[in-house]
Amino acid sequence: MAYGWMGSGLEVDLTAGTVEKKSADPKLYESYLGGKGINIKLFWDRVSPEVEPFSPENLLIISAGLLTGTPAPAGNHGCISYKSPLTKFFASSSIGGFWPAELRHAGYDTVVFSGKSPRPVYLWINNDQAELRDAAHLWGKDTKETQSLIQKELKNDKVQVLCIGSAGENMNTAATIQHGSTHSASRGGPGAIMGDKNLKAVAVFGTKDVSIARPAEFMKFCDIIMEKSESLRNYYSKKTHRTGEFAQEFMNWGVFGNVDKMPADFEHIEARQTEFVSKYLVREPACYNCPFKCLATIAHPDVGPVTLKCTSWWSFMCASKLLDLDFSVRCLDMCFRYGLDHLSAANRIAFAIALYQNGILTKEDTDGLVLEYGNPEVAYALIEKMARREGIGDILADSVAEAARRIGKGAEKYAFHIKNLEIKFHSYFSPYFAFTTAIGDRADTNCAGTGSMTPEGISFGMPIHEYVQRGFSPFPDDWEKFLYVDYSVNYEGLAEVAYYGENLKTLTDLLGICWNPSGFWPFTAIKLDSMLGLLSSATGTDFDEAQAFKIAARVRGLIQAYNVRLGLRRKDDTVPEKFFQQEVVGYQKKKGLKKLDHDKFEEQLDKHYQMKGWNNDAIPTAETLDKLGLSYVRQDLEKRGIL
């Protein structure tokens, strides 16, 4: 076994009901490292592009990162890949918490699910023993109850569980795979793939070592990260949940980055969130071996402790135009239990309310429900209907794009999505945010995108000079040309910044290092040089930036090639047209944002593709594929007449 990897994977044939342990090819690790890299290679080799998302031939592949379970701080992520029922492309969803590290301790890097079980089952991995067990008694149970029932059944409270709720069972394309109180793999519908396969849960327990090749050197990099974390860890939680500082910013952007105005009381959201948090915040939990504390546990008097993170605080308040944190927490608790992605769910609710308000939907279409803003009951009812695919919820469960096609009557005007994936409520009027979202491999920047997700671009309106001086910037310190540009209005340099950001993000996906402390923010505890140091000392093979980024480019190129065979082209790398068409008003105008400039956007896209070695229609060139060691991909694209 090579250092850094466990060396084995599990092959689960759900149709036959068999589980087999397989040794992995060391070449696979060398060329693709781990996580998303392993997943796309296996997917390319085994799933032809014609395979439908909901079919036994579609695979669900879970791989831990190369550093997952090592002492590397925040080395706790895994990657779940599948052909998405939402985007219809290859998609990956990242997941943190405790499950991916436990998989490595059980002795595996990867689990591949194929086929379809004739009845509900769950997989139980206990070190070298792995078996499929009946899950009839768990079907219909919510995700929290499911995890607790499995731990009781296996008489082991250290068992880590991934599972789906009603949304996944009913194949809602916004269905997540949930783990723990709040962790999820989301934004492409992985829960729906589990539902289609009749796979309710994956439970794992392991007692094996994860080994490091050069321990003393490895720990030096851990120490650097821990020291930086100490300075930064409070900053993040203060901004996102302790004070509601970001809430104010997000709310002011309006519903889904729309020019819609929010009700006047939203001006007080910062104060309201601060008050709410000071009353109900009981803990700031963390994922496995992470010095940060991104989560916030709210002791809700009715529904019990609910653990939230990041933008989930605001999705439903935006969708329902309702300033009510209690409402927001209740909606999220429902989403966690049903296993429903709060971003897509909130977007779908906003879409349905907008259709109703504009006369496109009527009471007859909604089982008598009056879809209005400001009414918490509307969101509660729609979340439940979507999770159960009842009435209007059945139509919304497919996606806003598909629902708009079915409803007709101009409904598509209110359907805001990129490559079918519902957009978040952030402002896509920011060239930086729009661009990095458009070029991502999953049409979404939240946990699988590029660079920090801010209208101001890299700086997020924060004192970037200070971060650079203190060695906290995720970008190269000598990037004078880009670091101080306000990308909420500027375009020049976007191609380069997004190129670097995407390579960095892809590398974290391969290593299983959480993106939050490693590049998502303009201040970062885990800089690239630390990651390269960890990678080299864990495996015993030295990697420099060029070598590591070449692997990242190989993985990104392979994902692109897979999706190009499904028709993905330059035309898809964009954001909803309204951000190019509508004039900016209100708060966003005051901040200096303008509608997007089509020509400047396209100019950056040209440059960006060029940097990646793709042609101007987003297809990796033959030369690039050969250079990346992907000649087998070039041959396939040539055979299909794409190259």
Amino acid at 116: K
Q: In the range 371-430, which residues lie near another protein by CB under 8 A?
A: none
Residue 262 near residue 255 (C-beta atoms within 8 A): yes
To another protein, the closest distance from the beta carbon of 71 in angstroms equals: 5
Query: Segment near another protein (CB under 8 A), from 290-298, 332-340, 353-361, 617-625?
Result: 290-298
To another protein, the closest distance from the beta carbon of 17 in angstroms equals: 29
Residue 118 near residue 198 (C-beta atoms within 8 A): yes
Q: Under the criterion CB under 8 A, does residue 527 sit at the interface with another protein?
A: no
To another protein, the closest distance from the beta carbon of 154 in angstroms equals: 13
Looking only at the bridges linking them, the beta strands covering 8-13 and 110-114 are parallel
**Strand partners of residue 296:** 308
- Interface size with another protein, residues (CB under 8 A): 42
Residue number, 289 or 547, with CB nearest to another protein: 289
To another protein, the closest distance from the beta carbon of 624 in angstroms equals: 38
Q: Under the criterion CB under 8 A, does residue 1 sit at the interface with another protein?
A: no
Count of positions (residues) in the chain:
643
Residue number, 58 or 181, with CB nearest to another protein: 181
Q: Under the criterion CB under 8 A, does residue 336 sit at the interface with another protein?
A: no
Q: In the range 180-199, which residues lie near another protein by CB under 8 A?
A: 180-181
Residue 10 near residue 19 (C-beta atoms within 8 A): yes
Q: Which of 126, 211, 547, 582 binds another protein (CB under 8 A)?
A: 211
Residue number, 149 or 611, with CB nearest to another protein: 149
Nearest alpha-carbon partner for 514 in 502, 523, 503, 505:
505
Question: Interface mask (CB under 8 A) for another protein, residues 266-285, using x and -?
Answer: ----------------xxxx
Q: Under the criterion CB under 8 A, does residue 218 sit at the interface with another protein?
A: yes
Q: Under the criterion CB under 8 A, does residue 293 sit at the interface with another protein?
A: yes
CA–chain centroid gap for 552, Å, is 17
Residue number, 289 or 610, with CB nearest to another protein: 289
Q: How far apart are CA 272 and CA 295, in angstroms?
A: 19
Task: Compute the half-sphere exposure of residue 361: CA atoms within 13 Å on the CB side of its CA.
Answer: 30
Nearest alpha-carbon partner for 120 in 165, 53, 178:
165
Looking only at the bridges linking them, the beta strands covering 90-95 and 18-23 are unpaired
Q: Which of 20, 25, 230, 265 binds another protein (CB under 8 A)?
A: 230
Residue number, 40 or 72, with CB nearest to another protein: 72
Looking only at the bridges linking them, the beta strands covering 110-114 and 60-64 are antiparallel
Question: Interface mask (CB under 8 A) for another protein, residues 74-103, using x and -?
Answer: ------------------------x-----
To another protein, the closest distance from the beta carbon of 523 in angstroms equals: 16
Q: Which two tokens stand for residue 118?
A: 């004739």
Q: Strand, coil or helix: what is 545? A: helix
Residue number, 214 or 600, with CB nearest to another protein: 214
Q: Under the criterion CB under 8 A, does residue 229 sit at the interface with another protein?
A: yes
Q: How far apart are CA 604 and CA 436, in angstroms?
A: 11
> What is the layout of strands, in order, in the sheet containing 110-114?
18-23, 8-13, 110-114, 60-64, 78-83, 90-95
Query: Segment near another protein (CB under 8 A), from 200-208, 331-339, 559-567, 598-606?
Result: 200-208
Q: How far apart are CA 635 and CA 638, in angstroms?
A: 5
Q: Strand, coil or helix: what is 297? A: strand
Q: Under the criterion CB under 8 A, does residue 231 sit at the interface with another protein?
A: no
Residue 421 near residue 442 (C-beta atoms within 8 A): yes
Q: How far apart are CA 527 and CA 272, in angstroms?
A: 35
Q: Under the criterion CB under 8 A, does residue 240 sit at the interface with another protein?
A: no
To another protein, the closest distance from the beta carbon of 179 in angstroms equals: 10
Q: Under the criterion CB under 8 A, does residue 206 sit at the interface with another protein?
A: yes
Amino acid at 151: Q
Residue number, 3 or 54, with CB nearest to another protein: 3
Q: Under the criterion CB under 8 A, does residue 105 sit at the interface with another protein?
A: yes
Q: Where are the beta strands (DSSP E) in 35-171?
A: 60-64, 78-83, 90-95, 110-114, 121-126, 129-134, 160-163
Residue number, 290 or 489, with CB nearest to another protein: 290
Q: Under the criterion CB under 8 A, does residue 227 sit at the interface with another protein?
A: no
Query: Segment near another protein (CB under 8 A), from 246-254, 289-297, 546-554, 633-641?
Result: 289-297
Write b or e for each residue in 56-75: b if 16 or more Cβ atoms lie within 10 A of its Cβ, otherwise e: bebbbbbbbbbbbbbbbbbb
To another protein, the closest distance from the beta carbon of 637 in angstroms equals: 41
Residue 117 near residue 199 (C-beta atoms within 8 A): yes
Q: Which of 212, 262, 559, 637 binds another protein (CB under 8 A)?
A: 212
Q: Strand, coil or helix: what is 80? A: strand
Q: Which of 290, 296, 323, 335 binds another protein (CB under 8 A)?
A: 290
Q: Which of 286, 317, 504, 643 binds another protein (CB under 8 A)?
A: 286
Query: Segment near another protein (CB under 8 A), from 40-48, 206-214, 264-272, 511-519?
Result: 206-214
Q: Under the criterion CB under 8 A, does residue 546 sit at the interface with another protein?
A: no
Q: Under the criterion CB under 8 A, does residue 540 sit at the interface with another protein?
A: no
Instruction: Give the number of other Cβ atoms within 10 Å of residue 265's Cβ.
Output: 11
Q: How far apart are CA 275 and CA 500, in angstroms?
A: 39
Q: Which of 1, 271, 299, 566 binds another protein (CB under 8 A)?
A: 299
Q: Under the criterion CB under 8 A, does residue 210 sit at the interface with another protein?
A: yes
Residue 376 near residue 327 (C-beta atoms within 8 A): yes
Alpha helices in 303-438 (DSSP H): 315-319, 325-338, 342-357, 376-388, 392-396, 400-407, 431-438
Write b or e for each residue in 288-302: b if 16 or more Cβ atoms lie within 10 A of its Cβ, otherwise e: bbbbbbbbbbbebee
Q: In the range 117-146, which residues lie near another protein by CB under 8 A?
A: 144
Q: Which of 7, 49, 56, 305 binds another protein (CB under 8 A)?
A: 305
Contact residues for another protein (CB under 8 A)? 69-71, 73, 98, 105, 144, 148, 157, 180-181, 206-212, 215-216, 218-219, 226, 229-230, 233, 282-291, 293, 297, 299, 304-305, 307
